[in-house]
Chains A and B, each alone.
Chain A
Amino acid sequence: MKNSTILKVEHLSKYFKSGQQTLTVLNDVSFEIEQGSACAIVGPSGSGKTTLIGICAGLERPSQGSVLFNGVSMHLSGEEALARIRNELIGFIFQSFQLLPSLTALENVMVPAEIRGENHARNRAGELLERVGLENRLHHYPIQLSGGEQQRVAIARAFMNRPKILFADEPTGNLDAETAKEVVRLIFEINATTGTTLMLVTHDRDLTERADRVISLKAGKVVSDGEAKTHLAGQ
């Protein structure tokens, strides 16, 4: 599976203007991600991790540099094209789950497929929820679910359209240790069976351990990029 580059980031920089000041969040970041691999992005708070995956996922444009995803120049694509890519090729898991509060668990998972115009999203959504252990909570609303259950719904939603890459921003950040373990297990289990590339921002050691590669950021720059055990040994 790891026979091609799915994501290529070259000389990526991102600045924000805040009043009279310019804030450099990312500074000349470059790397490539192989298809099917699992990459963890680590670093202290404010190092630019969230901004980096935001740009890679097409949620934001870089100030400088390029992002090539699945052969498409994300930084040059229009909003409609990016929306289509996000719907068809990318999955996203948020730290705060970000479920739509007025939709049931089943409906939340169905939304990406419905946006795509699929008419049989219900069956697949049900299967995914069963896979994450929520077969009995299909018609419950997010407010009726625990944090771990909400994150599992979010995982099911992220995999609904069979994405080529899954971005996760601190997926276990709001969970207790036991639940976090369960969520990590789920993410990697689905990754193993579907071959989806993983790019995870995390402080979670467990999650970092399971990644193939760890990119460490500090003050917007890549300070290390290598195997997980090398990174963890250095800790």
Chain B
Amino acid sequence: MLMVLRKWVWRMALRDARRGLKPLLLSMLCVILGVASVVTAFSFRDNLQSSIRTQSKSLLGADLAIDSREPFSSDAEALLASLGGDQSRQVSFSSMAYFPSSGSSRLVQVRAIGGKFPYYGALETEPATAVRDFQRRADALVDDKVMLQFNAQVGDRVRIGEQDFRIAGKLRKIPGEALAFSLISPRVYIPLGYLRQTQLVQKGSLVRYRVYFKFDSHVDVDQLVRRISPQLQRLGLQADTVSRRTEAISASMDNLSRYLRLAVFIAVLLAGVGVASGVHVYVKEKIPSVAVLRCIGANPRETVIVYLIQTFVLTFAGAVVGAALGAALHSLLPLALKDFLPVNASMPVAPVGVGAGMIIGLGAAILFSLIPLLPLRKISPLVALRASYETSERGKDPLLWLIFFLIVAGVAAFAVITTASWLHGLWFTAGVILAFGLLAAVARGVSALLRKLVPGFLSFPWRQGLANLHRPNNQTTAVMLSIGLGTFLLVTLYNVRSMLVNQVAEHSAKDEPNLVLFDVQKDQRQAIAEIVRSFNASFYDEVPVVTMRLAALKGKRVEELRDDPASRLPRWVLRREYRSTYRSHLSATERVVAGTWQGRVDGESQPIPISLEKGIAESLRVTVGDPLEFDVQGVSLRTRVASLREVDWQRVQPNFFVVFPEGVLENAPQFYAVVTRADSSGASASLQRAVVQRFPNVSVIDLALVLNTLDAILGRVSDAIRFVALFTILTGFAVLASAVLSSRSQRLKESILLRTLGAPWRQIVSSVIAEYMFLGLISGLTGAVLAIAASWGLSFYFFKTVAAISLPAVISIPLLVTGITVLAGGLGCWGIFRRSALEALRAER
């Protein structure tokens, strides 16, 4: 350590730098990009959390919200009244919205609102005044994406149920909700006073009732909720407070931030590779000087410190510039992710982000730079006299292994801290080591193979070009890592997108249902069937749906289970309204995995043998033979689990958690789901229009719409991921540029020699193209193959679906990176080829 303080090492570092630090400049660029990416990601997290804190009240829009899945009982109303404060009411449900101007309809979430909600934040509309006035008359605020989709304008009509509304404004943003959710379930706000006219809220409808409260500032809302908690439970009500909402959103945004940080860490590692590559080339030139210093008495460690000082100063400067760049760019990340953020993320640079970027970026750069620097200790002073006969024993340097260990430990520590999970952190570390290791191994393997085997039938330029991949000081490994990693990331992204879209799309290609009509009442069945047939649509099935609630589980009342702190049952399985069906046979989307299917019972015998979906059975912690009691709108039914089913939820058909046998529920209040298939998008649109116009209470799930929505969401996600991956890709280019430029002087000498021996320029250019084409192709293909393997792994272990490969991406991206590599190689040699040998030699000196 004291050696660093010796004046002569600093003087030597400064003097030696006079020759120029050009080979290190691209390493510095790598550091800049690596640090900028970390500053951006860390600042984003801090800014987001800060924004969530400062905008916390607008996340809920009120101080308190109380929900019910049923109309508020008189006891509930008494409780609500006793709480005081300013109150607003909201009733929300899914329904079809019909736009007469275009004749189109779409499933939306209808929110009937009464009162001054939101009390904090604002419903952003265009025009801005629309939110102020729409409750006074039959006006509606419609999600701007739906309006765009159907080319609707402010002033047009929209029909919700039996009531027409005038579109008063486009709805742009709702406090506390991310824009992306409007892709899945676009919102339409109508006045609460006109809800009854829609005639959509009927017995059995899936409706949510909510009351918003605004209290005086001195009211401790969390304490209030704790006080009334027993009453809320007794009345089946749920409370949502600002602190709970903030906590939930913070947790999910924190997850987002975590994985962003992991993604940019790849850029840091690649930057480290770039630094190691640049420093390696730099110190190769310094070996004669190092040997001379050793001859005149310099300590082995001091010679390393001289060049470590130079590297440190340059990487520090790079880190400072990178922090500044990150500070400038960090505001772009929230813009890239704005569709998924529930708040407006604030812009100021977070000092934590800058600090983290500097420390992580600098730390990684120093560790990676030590890899080529440490072997300087082993440079024999005899090199000043002549090259050593004995090969260096680099592989046996324990200090080098320590550096490798520190790098791996650093990656693991970062991953574990970021993911807050040992398992995830170690998986990430293993994945990174595997990706880097495989790419490096392929590079070494290719070099070794080419050293032994260059096909004789290849022309001289090709043989010369391929030989350059294994010559001393080749940059094959660095280029393979940079290009291969970038290809791997991009192809994986496209493969995963294909896989997720195909999950749904494969069912549209076959002869399978692509439309499901929900909430069909008993007296509407025949007319619906006629409409379906009139559009030549295939009628697949008519499925009865009975709503019920769980009353008891394995002999214990649901109320007991809810109040029992030892119960580990999730509250939603106890509270939810179950939409069940009855039939005698299994449907095409399910199979029995335990017990025995019973399709029919006779008479009033109980317990009734029912079939549960295996996932809900796990959540309820029940198995075959366990008793359950259901409340079917006031009638108690004792049941027994007779079988468990595995259900393919991705099929566009009504699937159910609970299936009763025939002979039990035929007389229960019920509605129907009609499963059908329209052969064209035109027929589908016409069918939907006809149904909604005649029966506004009927909702339609359209597979084409699901696909479009999924594709749109994945597109937004891909864009965001691509933005984050951009840092990695740019760093990859910097490493490529560094590798190309580092070989320039060697290439110059070779070309001069070849020219002197009579080789035409065409041959020399061809060998450069051959070299970089092969390098780019191998790197791109290796990255693509790794991506295919990673996609398979993700599909099997994570998404649990069939792997899908995006063939256009697998083919085009490796070709693209090959083209870029050849271009980089050509640009790196620019100037060498255009001049005479002597001119080029003088110019380089």
Query: Chain B contacts of A102 at CB under 8 A?
Result: 15-19, 289
Contact A60 B299 (CB under 8 A): no
B20: nearest residue on chain A (CB-CB)?
A102
User: Which B residues lie within 8 Å of A117 (CB)?
Assistant: 6-8
Q: How far is the CA of A117 from the CA of B12 in the complex (A)?
A: 13
Interface pair A84/B297, CB less than 8 Å apart: yes
In the complex, how many angstroms separate the beta carbon of B497 from the nearest chain A beta carbon? 53
Pick out which of these stretches binds chain A: B378-386, B487-495, B590-598: B378-386
Given the contacts A18-B389, A50-B386, A92-B296, A59 and B6 also touching, CB distance less than 8 Å: no
> Are B8's CB and A114's CB within 8 A?
yes
B298 proximal to A (CB < 8 A): yes
User: Which listed residue (B6, B11, B18, B297) contacts A86, Cβ 8 A?
Assistant: B297
Is the C-beta of B111 less than 8 angstroms from some C-beta in chain A? no
CA distance A126 to B590 in the complex (A): 94
Number of A-B contacts (CB under 8 A): 92
**Which of B12, B17, B291: most chain A Cβ within 10 A?**
B12
Chain A, residues 128-162, CB within 8 Å of chain B (1/0): the string is: 00000000000000000000000000000100010
Contact indicator B8/A115 (Cβ below 8 Å): yes
Q: For residue A161, which residues in chain B have a CB less than 8 angstroms away from its CB?
A: 297
A72-84 CB mask vs B (1 if < 8 Å, else 0) is 0000000110011
Q: A88-B297, A101-B289 are in contact. Are A107 and B15 (CB under 8 A)?
A: yes
User: Within the complex, what minimum Cβ distance (angstroms) separates B654 from chain A?
Assistant: 77
Tell which of B7, B298, B381, B382 has the most Cβ of chain A within 10 Å. B381
With both beta carbons as reference points, the residue of chain B lying nearest to A57 in the complex is identified as B295
Residue of A23, A94, A161 with most partner-chain B CB within 10 A: A94
- Contacting pair A98 B288 (CB below 8 A): yes
Fill in one digit per residue for A60-98: 1 if any B CB lies within 8 Å of its CB, else 0: 100000000000000000011001111110101010001
B390 neighbours in A (Cβ, 8 Å): 16-17
- A-contact 0/1 string along B176-199, CB 8 Å cutoff: 000000000000000000000000
**How many Å from the CB of A113 to the closest CB on chain B?**
9
In-complex Cβ contact of B297 among A18, A83, A169 (8 A): A83
Q: Shortest Cβ distance from B703 into chain A, in angstroms?
A: 70
Tell me the bound Cα distance from A16 to B289 in angstroms.
Answer: 24
CA distance A84 to B300 in the complex (A): 11
Question: Given contacts A60-B380, A101-B289, are A111 and B299 in contact (CB under 8 A)?
Answer: no
Q: How far is the CA of A16 from the CA of B297 in the complex (A)?
A: 25
When C-beta atoms are compared, the residue in chain A nearest to B295 turns out to be A92
Q: Which of B386-402 contact A (CB under 8 A)?
A: 386, 389-390
A175 within 8 A of B: no
Nearest residue, chain A, Cβ from B17: A102
B292 part of interface (Cβ distance < 8 Å) = yes
Least CB distance from A202 to B in Å reads 14
Q: Which residues of B contact A107 (CB under 8 A)?
A: 15
Contact code string B281-301 (vs A, CB < 8 Å = 1, else 0): 000000011011111111110
Please give the distance in Å from A45's CB to the nearest CB on chain B.
Answer: 12
* Residue from A86, A103, A114 within 8 A of B295 (CB atoms): A86
A83 near B299 (CB under 8 angstroms)?
yes
The verdict on A59 contacting B382 (CB below 8 Å), with A100-B289, A102-B15 known, is yes
A59 and B295 within 8 A (CB): yes
Most A CB within 10 A of own CB, among B12, B16, B292 = B292
Q: Are B298 and A83 in contact (CB under 8 A)?
A: yes
Interface string of B18-38 (1 = CB under 8 A from A): 110000000000000000000
A60 and B382 contact, Cβ closer than 8 Å, known pairs A92-B296, A100-B16, A102-B18: yes
B-side interface mostly: helix
Chain B interfacial residues counted at CB < 8 A: 31
Question: With the chains together, A88 CA to B18 CA distance in Å?
Answer: 28
How far is A18 from B295 in the complex, measured between Cα atoms in Å?
Answer: 25
Q: From residue 104 to 123 of chain A, which have CB atoms closer than 8 A to chain B?
A: 107, 111-112, 114-117
In the complex formed, the residue of A with least CB distance to B390 is: A16
A16 vs B445: C-alpha distance in the bound complex, in angstroms? 29
The residue from B17, B293, B385, B386 contacting A111, defined by CB atoms under 8 A apart: B293
User: Which listed residue, B7, B288, B300, B381, touches A59 by the CB 8 Å rule?
Assistant: B381
Whole-angstrom distance between the alpha carbons of A102 and B294 in the complex? 17
B302 surroundings in chain A (CB, below 8 A): 115
A86 touches B296 (CB 8 A): yes
B12 touches A98 (CB 8 A): no
B1 CB to nearest A CB, Å? 15
Q: Which residues does chain B contribute within 8 Å of A50, judged by CB atoms?
A: 385-386
* Contact A114 to B7, CB < 8 A, known contacts A86-B381, A101-B19: yes
Q: Give A117 to B9 CA distance when docked, in angstroms.
A: 10
List A contacts of B300 (CB < 8 A): 79-80, 83
- Evaluate contact between B389 and A114: CB separation under 8 angstroms: no
Q: Which residue on chain A has the smallest CB distance to residue B289?
A: A100
A50-B386, A101-B19, A102-B15 as given contacts; A112 in contact with B297, CB under 8 Å: yes
Contacts of A90 in B (CB 8 A): 297
**Distance of A199 from chain B, by nearest CB (Å):** 14
Q: Which residue of B lies closest to A16 (CB)?
A: B389
Within 8 Å by CB of A94, from B8, B19, B293, B384, lies B384
Complex Cα distance, B289 from A103, in Å, reads 11
A16, A54, A117, most chain B CB atoms within 10 A: A54
Complex CA gap A218/B17 in Å reads 43
Residues of B close to A111: CB separation below 8 A? 8, 12, 293, 296
For B291, what are the chain A residues with a Cβ–Cβ distance below 8 Å?
98
Chain B residue contacts of A169, Cβ below 8 A: 385
Contact of A157 with B296 in the complex, beta carbons under 8 Å: yes
In this complex, what residue of B is CB-closest to A160? B296
**Closest Cβ–Cβ distance, residue A149 to chain B (whole Å):** 17
Q: Which of B16, B17, B297 contacts A116 (CB 8 A)?
A: B297
Hey, which chain A residues are within 8 Å of B386, CB to CB? 50
Q: How far is the CB of A66 from chain B (nearest CB, A)?
A: 19
| A63 to B11 alpha-carbon distance, docked (Å) | 37
| A169–B385 CA distance with the chains assembled, in angstroms | 8
| Min C-beta distance of B710 to chain A, whole Å | 61
**Per-position 1/0 for A10-33, Cβ under 8 A of B:** 000000111000010000000000
A84 to B289, CA, bound (A): 18
CA distance in complex: A107, B16 (Å): 11
Within 8 Å CB of B292, what residues of A? 94, 98-100
**Chain A nearest CB, measured from B398 CB (Å):** 16
Among B8, B291, B299, B385, the one with the most A-chain Cβ atoms within 10 Å of its Cβ is B385
Query: Which residues of B in the span 291-319 have a Cβ within 8 Å of any Cβ on A?
Result: 291-300, 302
By the criterion CB–CB under 8 Å, are B297 and A115 in contact? yes
A103 cross-chain contacts in B, Cβ below 8 A: 15-16
Min C-beta distance of A88 to chain B, whole Å:
7
* Nearest CB on B from A60, distance (A): 5
Residue of A nearest to B6 (CB): A117
Cα A218 to Cα B295 with chains together (Å): 26
Please name all residues of chain B whose beta carbon is closer than 8 Å to the beta carbon of A115 when the two chains form the complex.
8, 293, 296-298, 302
- Nearest to B299 among chain A residues (CB) is A83
- Taking CB atoms, residues of chain B closer than 8 Å to A98 are 288, 291-292, 295, 384
CA distance A50 to B387 in the complex (A): 12
Cα A102 to Cα B384 with chains together (Å): 16
- Please, could you name 30 A-B residue pairs with CB atoms under 8 Å apart, sorted by A? A17-B389, A18-B389, A23-B389, A50-B386, A54-B382, A54-B385, A59-B295, A59-B381, A59-B382, A79-B300, A83-B300, A84-B297, A86-B295, A86-B296, A87-B296, A88-B297, A94-B385, A98-B288, A98-B292, A100-B293, A101-B19, A101-B289, A111-B12, A111-B293, A111-B296, A112-B296, A112-B297, A115-B296, A157-B296, A169-B385
Instruction: Please give me the 4 A-B residue pairs with the lowest Cβ-Cβ distance, nearest first.
Output: A87-B297, A114-B8, A16-B389, A102-B19
Q: Mark A residues whose CB is within 8 Å of B.
A: 16-18, 23, 50, 54, 57, 59-60, 79-80, 83-88, 90, 92, 94, 98-103, 107, 111-112, 114-117, 157, 161, 169
Known: A17-B390, A111-B12, A116-B297. 17 other contacts (CB 8 A): A17-B389, A50-B386, A59-B294, A59-B384, A83-B294, A83-B299, A87-B298, A88-B297, A90-B297, A94-B384, A100-B289, A100-B292, A102-B289, A107-B15, A115-B8, A117-B6, A117-B8
